[in-house]
Chains A and B, each alone.
Chain A
Amino acid sequence: NAGVTQTPKFRVLKTGQSMTLLCAQDMNHEYMYWYRQDPGMGLRLIHYSVGEGTTAKGEVPDGYNVSRLKKQNFLLGLESAAPSQTSVYFCASTEGQGYTGELFFGEGSRLTVL
């Protein structure tokens, strides 16, 4: 039982390049989330999904897109990376009825944009 798996774990991009972060969970959770964590800023919600085929904006959605084509996967895309998107990205999931259930986090993806 792997829980929440994020790929890649590390990535370096040049300004303007695009990339996709993949989050996969094997717990059959309905809700999935993407956060970014920056020094002094804490965890900030980028986008989230309340089920397959749904997405919604969080606190800091600009510059990111997401897709939830399969229940177990939640993809975070950067179409044109900027240095301000250098951060550690965390994916998390929680069970269906659990709008207030605890989050299960991945190990993080460290992204550097030069």
Chain B
Amino acid sequence: EDQVTQSPEALRLQEGESSSLNCSYTVSGLRGLFWYRQDPGKGPEFLFTLYSAGEEKEKERLKATLTKKESFLHITAPKPEDSATYLCAPGDKIIFGKGTRLHILP
């Protein structure tokens, strides 16, 4: 059975304190691993797609990486506006991880 697990469930950081979010998956025939950001009361917004192990993508303070079994979303020197829930999902759209709620304290 395909599964996606995100950890931690919630993370509180001080502004400027770097950390990483994890997305581990057991999906046969993975065709892409997607990261989304969701703000309260809004729909998720696309961040990154990773297709092969070793691939990395960057956007401002975020960098996503992919291995054969997991993906990491690294956040460097975060700011309060980076506070959101971050979701990951395999490319088939069938399942999503439950997300990591990230809160950056000023």
A interface list, Cβ under 8 A from B: 4, 31, 33, 35, 40-45, 48, 58-59, 90, 92, 94, 99-100, 102-108
Contact = CB atoms under 8 A, between A and B. Distances in A.
Interface string B24-43: 00000001101010000111
Contacts of A107: 41-43
B58 to A, nearest CB: 17
Nearest to B93: A33
A94 B95 contact: no
Given A100-B31, A107-B42, A59 B49 contact: no
B96 A102 contact: no
Given A100-B32, A105-B44, A106-B43, A45 B93 contact: yes
Given A43-B87, A102-B34, A58 B94 contact: yes
A44 B98 CA distance: 9
A70 to B, nearest CB: 21
Contacts of B94: 45, 58-59
A14 B94 CA distance: 30
B93 A105 contact: no
Contact of B93 (A40, A42, A48, A108): A48
Nearest to A98: B91
B45 interface: yes
A31 B63 CA distance: 28
A104 B98 CA distance: 18
Interface in B81-106: 87, 89, 91-99
A5 B87 CA distance: 21
Contacts of A44: 96
